Amino acid sequence: MAIIRPFKAFRPVTELVSKVAALPYDVVTTKEAREKAKDNRYSFLHIDRPEIAFEEGIDPYDAKVYEKAREKLFGMINEKVYIQDLQPCLYIYQLNRQDRIQKGIVACTSIDDYINDIIKKHEHTLPLKEQDRINHIKYTDAHTGPILMTYRENSRITDIIDDWISSHSPIYDFVSMDNVLQTVWVIDDEKTIDELLGLFAKVDALYIADGHHRAAAAVKVGLEKRQENPNYTGDEEFNYFLSVIFPDTQLTILAYNRVVKDLNGLSQQELLDKIKQNFDIVYEGKEAFIPKEKHLFGMYIGGKWYGLKAKPGSFNEKDPVESLDVSILHNLIIAPIFDITNPRTDNRIDFVGGAKGVEELKNRVDSGEMSVAFSLFPTPIEDLMCIADSGCIMPPKSTWFEPKLQSGIFIHSMSLK
């Protein structure tokens, strides 16, 4: 059911891979990218965040910014910073963060599977962010940032990956700037590749975990190229895009917490009184309240933590979206009490994801920048897959996958063979 395809990756020479690899463009700001790449001409941020080559204030969507991305990419290829494998391969990409290991297959996935909903989505995309990645793909003629995908684990696929790792040496083995051990193996044996392709063909669905904008952009560029090439066969590289596919059992989702700037004119006691209409207060104290199960929330305000538990009947437990903790928090507190109806655009709310943890919530409230913070239980991967299967969309900022895939380790070119 799911089509994966080997490809001839452009990838860094071994001695430079640790300098090239960088966090994805969408988890670093322009300012952060400028700082991280300033003393490293090999950093992929020069390609992924090409505006850092210009003076501050440059429009990141200016055509010359994308031209700079192309110039930098082809410059690194010409300088032999990148090499290309001579035959189509699959790759194993292993991430080890604090001894938690996930091992996935790097391959190209099909734009037809995306269109036909074999590749399932759970987020809406924003037109501006989508167009940015469309432009980046067009100017570089390549997919430079992999899409993080998952599937319900197939034990035979896992066994093949483990067997290959145990009997082959990695081509890369380095610690990235975010302190994650990155290890890569090349699968270049045709029999092994064919078996993996056959096994994935029996996988009912792939799920986009992270990278909805990159995926949507790749598909739109592919469809545009089909129009430009009406005699296309379906075998052309533009019919496929770069993905890393991990089994669901190995992915780690961390909490995606919230901070709110003001109390919408309420006193702290008035806020608590309103919250008590739909929540039981199960904890009050100085020690951080970190939810250990669904429908529990931590709240930090006035130097004190509260544990909140949603009351039965306060939300629709049978609805896969409405019963998400991010939905419960939004529908029962963020929207009705703080009058924040669109968290995507309202600057009174911010989101704290990943490994920053509850200390960051406390710091932002104690500093006076924010008035109240909420800690959540991480969205289970099963909920994500259930919602995608039902064709529904998750609320914004529902999941934070950690660790992040590095950009620049694999490039799928649509023109260079």
Selection from 68, 58, 219 nearest residue 139 by Cα:
68
Q: Do the Cβ atoms of 283 and 292 come closer than 8 Å?
A: no
The structure tokens 């395809």 sit at 5
pLDDT score for 415 = 84
Number of Cβ within 10 Å of residue 254's Cβ equals 18
Does residue 32 sit in helix, strand or coil? Answer: helix
Instruction: Classify domain 253-400 by CATH number.
Output: 3.30.1760.10
DSSP state of 61: T
Give the integer Cα–Cα distance in Å for 200 and 189: 17
pLDDT score for 396 = 85
pLDDT score for 355 = 73
Give the integer Cα–Cα distance in Å for 20 and 239: 27
pLDDT score for 154 = 97
Give the integer Cα–Cα distance in Å for 123 and 208: 9
Same fold, 4-252+402-413 and 253-400: no
pLDDT score for 122 = 94
**Which residues of the chain fall short of a pLDDT of 70?**
354, 416-417
Is this structure's pTM higher than 0.95? no
| Tens-place pLDDT, residues 107-159 | 999 999 999 999 999 999 989 999 999 999 999 999 999 999 999 999 999 99
Helices 155-167 and 190-200 cross at an angle (nearest 10°) of 160
* Domains of the chain, residue spans: 4-252+402-413, 253-400
pLDDT score for 59 = 95
Architecture of domain 4-252+402-413: Alpha-Beta Complex (3.90)
Give the integer Cα–Cα distance in Å for 336 and 134: 37
